[in-house]
């Protein structure tokens, strides 16, 4: 599958929404093309370089995104809101003459579309707490969606968010997130019995 890439200094996760300001011609053209043909593009985290550079170094795991809203802003820029859909791996990429990066990607299926296991039930409760008043989380979410929402809403470093996005098995992702929540003091570790 081929996706145009939008390298950013932020991580987009499946199921999350991200507002963006688009001002470069290569990206306004990309957005117009995606809207016209109802197709997705890929959001990838930059680890070296800038968002305006066409040769920034990017991670090879990202999230496909679809434009769900757009508006012409008062400052003359195009404002869009995208929704993260599915993780992908960049297999190869090329830079088009206009500076847009286009990549051949492999979509990554999430392995754990099940209810939140009892041992991680606190994650559902924490999500309700951190999302109250933000209208960001649906009432019932599967295990992956719960973790993706938490990762999005909590003040975690982009490198950690990227690391969690890259973890292939959701139970492993849960263990890493659990350890980070303990380290941050968000939860206390309680030994059984």
Range of the domain at 142: 118-183
Q: Same domain for 102 and 122?
A: no
CATH number at residue 123: 1.20.58
What pTM, to 2 d.p., does this model score? 0.87
188 inside domain:
no
pLDDT, tens only, 14-65: 999 999 998 888 998 999 999 999 999 999 999 988 777 777 899 999 999 9
The structure tokens listed for 32 are 């117009």
Spatial separation of the C-alpha atoms in residues 181 and 188, rounded to whole Å: 8
Q: Same domain for 135 and 175?
A: yes
Please report where in the chains the tokens 């490198």 appear, as a residue.
159
**How confident is residue 75, by pLDDT bands cut at 50, 70 and 90?**
confident
- Counting the structural domains of the chain, the total is 2
Q: Same domain for 38 and 131?
A: no
Q: Same domain for 125 and 63?
A: no
């Amino acid at each position: 599958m081929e996706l145009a890439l939008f390298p950013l200094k932020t991580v987009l996760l499946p199921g999350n929404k991200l507002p963006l300001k688009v001002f470069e011609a290569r990206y306004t053209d990309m957005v117009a093309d995606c809207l016209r043909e109802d197709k997705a593009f890929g959001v990838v985290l930059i680890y070296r370089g800038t968002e305006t550079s066409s040769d920034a170094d990017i991670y090879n795991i990202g999230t496909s995104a679809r434009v769900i809203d757009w508006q012409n802003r008062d400052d003359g820029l195009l404002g869009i809101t995208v929704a993260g859909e599915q993780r992908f791996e960049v297999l190869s990429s090329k830079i088009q003459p206009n500076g847009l990066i286009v990549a051949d990607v492999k979509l990554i299926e999430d392995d754990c579309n099940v209810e939140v296991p009892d041992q991680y039930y606190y994650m559902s409760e924490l999500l309700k707490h951190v999302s109250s008043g933000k209208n960001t989380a649906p009432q019932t979410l599967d295990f992956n969606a719960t973790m993706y929402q938490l990762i999005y809403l909590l003040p975690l470093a982009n490198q950690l968010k990227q690391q969690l996005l890259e973890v292939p098995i959701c139970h492993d992702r849960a263990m890493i997130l659990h350890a980070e929540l303990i380290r941050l003091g968000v939860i206390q570790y309680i030994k059984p019995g």
